[in-house]
Each structure stands twice: as C-alpha cells, then as structure tokens.
C-alpha cells in the first residue's frame, strides 16, 4: 500500500516534469495578442517553468476566419495558422534554464495555433470564447557554437511545446450574415487532468484510512 501511495502522489509530478527532449514542454503563460483581418504578421511570447521563447510569424496563413461570411447558427470553422523556419516563422528565440539555444544548419522550429470555432448567428455583441491550442517544436543546441557547425556535429535535440488558452472572437454583421472583426488570444496555465485529480483523491483516501487504522467493535 505504501508503494501505491507513493506512485499516486508522484503521478501529477511526472506530468509536469521539466522541459526535456523526451517530454512535452508545458506552456504555462504567454503574452496575449489580438488579430484582425488586416494583420500580416504576429509576434508572441511563451514561457514555462524552465523555459521562455519569443517568436515571429511574418505571414499569417492559412485557415483564418477573416473575410469569411457566416450565416448559419454555430457555423463550424476550424482555425489554424503558423508555420516553420525560416518562413513564415522568421524567429524562434529560445532560452532553457537560463541558457540560450540556437538553430544551426539542419535544425528548425515550428509553431502552430488552432481552434475549433462555432461562429454564432445572429451576432453576439459581446463576442464569444472557445479554447485554442498551441503546439511547437525546436530542433537545435545550446549556444554558443561556432558558425557553420551543424546538427551533425552538435548532436541537436528536439524540444516539443504544448499549451493553449482562450480565444475571444468579436463579430459584426447584419440580419443575414456575420463576419469576424477581431480575435484576442489569451494563454492559460494548464489545469491538472481529471486522471491526475483522481489519483490525488485516491492517495488522500488511502492515507486517511491508514491513519484511522482498523476499526474496533
């Protein structure tokens, strides 16, 4: 029973492990940003327990809801934008445990945002909110390294990132059609999974039962 309790208590810790090549690095915060139909580029920042990154997309494609007409209640729309280096992801500056990482020859980085929108009709003046997801990857090595040295020499590692938050979409339209005016993306810290919460609860019950000891009659 003691071993089971230890494993149960360790389960949520393993799920929130440090940013390692064998783990998904959990994005716990980021700078909110707003998109409109006229935006052609995007700069954003993300951070976790032991890493931070700043990135820039110089071209926003490919599935954005701007310039689209919605005229059915909860009209479905899968939104997705992002890309890889060197275009459209022109920058992905990463620091892990205070050490900057670089992208040598043979390395790369990717960043993608996605959300499953259900655009309401008629217009909701206050906008509507749904979850969005973020995934990224970075294949590189800690700096400094000599110019021209590639991943074949540096033994590059790949770090994968996962996070998300809430995107609030603001609409405009008449009695027959709705259009998207702007969207605001706000990162949220990931919440413990249902499985982790259940494990914590079971561990707590086991500890309480042990402290009480066997009942006497």
Residue 189 binned pLDDT confidence (cut-offs 50, 70, 90):
confident
Q: Work out the angle between the directed axes of helices 2-15 and 194-212 (0-180°, nearest 10).
A: 150
| Extended strands (E) in the chain | 24-26, 29-30, 33-36, 42-47, 51-57, 62-63, 75-84, 89-96, 99-102, 108-119, 128-142, 157-173, 178-187
Tell me the pLDDT tens digit for each residue of 107-128. 999 999 999 998 877 666 668 9
The whole-number pLDDT of residue 195 equals 41
136, 94 in Cβ contact below 8 A? no
Q: Which two tokens stand for residue 65?
A: 């809801």
Rounded to whole angstroms, how far apart are CA atoms 53 and 106?
Answer: 20
Measured in degrees and rounded to the nearest 5, phi and psi for residue 152 equal -65, -25
DSSP strand pairing (24-26 vs 157-173):
parallel
Residue 9 has pLDDT above 80, yes or no: no
pTM value is 0.78
Q: What are phi and psi of 4, to 5 degrees?
A: -60, -45
Q: Nearest to residue 97, comparing CAs of 48, 24, 156, 56?
A: 48
The alpha carbon of 193 is separated from its chain's Cα centroid by a whole number of angstroms, namely 15
**Strand 157-173 to strand 128-142: parallel, antiparallel, or no bridges (unpaired)?**
antiparallel
Which tokens in the block code for residue 202? 């079971």
pLDDT digit string (tens) for 46-55? 999 999 999 9
Q: What pLDDT shows up at residue 66?
A: 92
Q: Per-residue pLDDT for 60 more than 70?
A: yes
Q: Is the pLDDT of residue 95 over 60?
A: yes
Residue in 47, 61, 27 with CA at minimum distance from that of residue 165? 27
């Amino acid at each position: 029973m003691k071993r089971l309790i230890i494993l149960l208590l360790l389960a949520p810790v393993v799920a929130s492990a440090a940013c390692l090549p064998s783990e998904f690095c959990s994005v716990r915060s980021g700078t909110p940003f707003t998109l409109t139909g006229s935006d052609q580029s995007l700069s954003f920042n993300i951070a976790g327990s032991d890493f931070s990154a700043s990135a820039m997309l110089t071209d926003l494609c490919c599935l954005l809801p701007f310039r689209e007409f919605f005229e059915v209640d909860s009209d479905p729309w899968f939104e997705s934008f992002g890309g890889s280096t060197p275009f459209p992801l022109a920058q992905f500056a990463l620091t892990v445990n205070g050490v900057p990482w670089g992208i040598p020859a043979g390395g790369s980085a990717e960043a993608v945002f996605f959300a499953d929108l259900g655009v309401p009709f008629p217009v909701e003046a206050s906008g509507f909110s749904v979850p969005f997801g973020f995934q990224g990857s970075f294949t590189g090595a800690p700096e400094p390294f000599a110019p021209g040295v590639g991943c074949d020499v540096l033994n590059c590692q790949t770090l994968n990132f996962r996070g998300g938050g809430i995107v609030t979409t603001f609409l405009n339209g008449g009695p027959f059609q709705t259009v998207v005016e702007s969207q605001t993306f706000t990162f949220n810290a990931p919440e413990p999974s249902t499985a982790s919460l259940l494990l914590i609860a079971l561990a707590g019950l086991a500890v309480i039962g042990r402290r009480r000891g066997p009942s006497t009659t």
